[in-house]
Structure 1
Amino acid sequence: MKKTILSIALVAVFGLTASASAPNEDEKKPVKVSESTVTWKGYKVTGEHNGSINLKSGFLEMKGKKLIGGEFVVDMTSLTCNDLEAGQGKEKLEGHLKSADFFGVDANPNSKLVFTSVKAMNENSYTATGDLTIKGITKPVTVVVSMFENKATATIKVDRTKYDIKYGSGSFFDDLGDKAIYDEFDLVVDLAL
């Protein structure tokens, strides 16, 4: 009887120890915000502009070494234009991009991307479908994500008109001539994990 009780006690202790030390396969890897960058590029008939936006928070969800999800928030109030210097219209362009004509950052200080599904393209690359929220409007987007060690890069093409950003769009206004601004802009996100 004593051997049976001792055997049950040992099985219980070792069983609990084994299950407590078993690794959790799903992991949320936080993004190192200060080491990560979000850059944008917008196009118009007569050229282009580029700049950056600060990442506010984010994580990638992993199952072992495989990407399965993620969520990111950017601070739209930090939007800057990098291709112009002070005195060349930099402040005017940044102010206009932050206005209601474009991103309306006073009413919508953050934008957000949440992955809803992720499919592996190969060992290091994924196609992620997600919900992108800009100006309080959420639409589905497709993102290509590449991962190497403690870094991830995501590229995305965004149609601004889907988020009620129609200023200067040839899709909505006639006779814009060389003042037309193309509907799509590019985002490149470099994440440090």
Structure 2
Amino acid sequence: MKTNFLKITALVAFVAFSSCKDKAEEAETKAAEEAAVAKSTAVTFKADTDRSTIVWKGFKPTGSHEGTISIKEGNIAVNDKTVESGKFTIDMSTIVVTDIPESEEGNAKLQGHLSGPDFFDVKGFPTAEFEVTGLENKEGKTMLSGNLTMKGETNNISFPVKTSFDEDMMTLKSETFTIDRSKWNIKYGSKSFFDDLGDKFINDDIELTVNLVAKKA
């Protein structure tokens, strides 16, 4: 009996370790900071909303779900191919689930749940916002920092990005990173708020990958 218990414990620990290992690194998160101000010589690029997107992925003990959210509008100021400031509006009503076929009932059910008051409360908070506060090189990576406002809460996050330029177009793509949803008051199924969930909890970590395409204004 003791041997079986040890085997089960080891298996659970291995699964938990594997799950953590597979997730992207959490973005550095701290209190909101003052927005960056670009120099007068900066060139403004306007977000191409048809080609820009944010990919999300959420986790629970039995698996994960993923999808996309669209950028509604935004501008980014660049000087000598370096981002100096920027502000973007995220349209929370565009939350889409991509890992469940649209024809299946579960797709609309999950999308509705995510849009509802349990999660992002799209009716009460139709948009989220990201405003650049700085850019720095750290340990060989370019780290973009900005204030992320969601559900009325604002925190500053930093995550790795790469930028590229092609004539009058620019692309800013992040590495996949995670944010802790509890810091934006998204409580449903969170062990940060409830201690009686058993195995019915949903991880606080949400993976995000930002792909921004912008054209010189």
- TM-score normalised by L of structure 1: 0.81
The match for 1:27 is 43
User: What is the aligned counterpart of 2:187 among 166, 171, 182?
Assistant: 166
Cα distance in 2, alignment partners of residues 76 and 63 from structure 1? 30
TM alignment of 1:64-143, pairs within 5 A: 64-85=80-101, 86-121=103-138, 126-143=142-159
SS of the aligned residue for 1:96 comes to helix
Cα distance in 1, alignment partners of residues 207 and 84 from structure 2? 23
State the shift of 1:81 in Å: 0.7
For structure 1, the residue ranges without an aligned partner over 5 or more in a row are 1-23
The match for 1:182 is 203
The match for 1:50 is 66
State the shift of 1:46 in Å: 0.9
Cα distance in 2, alignment partners of residues 56 and 117 from structure 1? 22
State the shift of 1:68 in Å: 1.6
State the shift of 1:122 in Å: 8.8
Cα distance in 1, alignment partners of residues 98 and 192 from structure 2? 27
Cα distance in 1, alignment partners of residues 147 and 178 from structure 2? 13
Cα distance in 2, alignment partners of residues 190 and 25 from structure 1? 25
State the shift of 1:35 in Å: 1.1
Identity %: 36
Cα distance in 2, alignment partners of residues 36 and 129 from structure 1? 19
Greater C-alpha radius of gyration: 1
For structure 2, the residue ranges without an aligned partner over 5 or more in a row are 1-39
Cα distance in 1, alignment partners of residues 44 and 152 from structure 2? 26
The match for 1:17 is none
The match for 1:153 is 173
Q: C-alpha deviations, 1:117-167, integer Å up to 9, x for none?
A: 1113599x5212211000111111112221122321024421111111111
Letter in 1 for 2:129: K
State the shift of 1:88 in Å: 4.3
SS of the aligned residue for 1:108 comes to coil
Cα distance in 2, alignment partners of residues 59 and 145 from structure 1? 17
- TM-score normalised by L of structure 2: 0.72
Cα distance in 2, alignment partners of residues 171 and 45 from structure 1? 16
The match for 2:28 is none
Cα distance in 2, alignment partners of residues 26 and 68 from structure 1? 8
SS of the aligned residue for 2:108 comes to helix
Cα distance in 1, alignment partners of residues 120 and 93 from structure 2? 9
SS of the aligned residue for 1:177 comes to coil
State the shift of 1:63 in Å: 0.9
User: Do the aligned partners of 1:25 and 1:64 also contact (CA within 8 Å) in 2?
Assistant: no
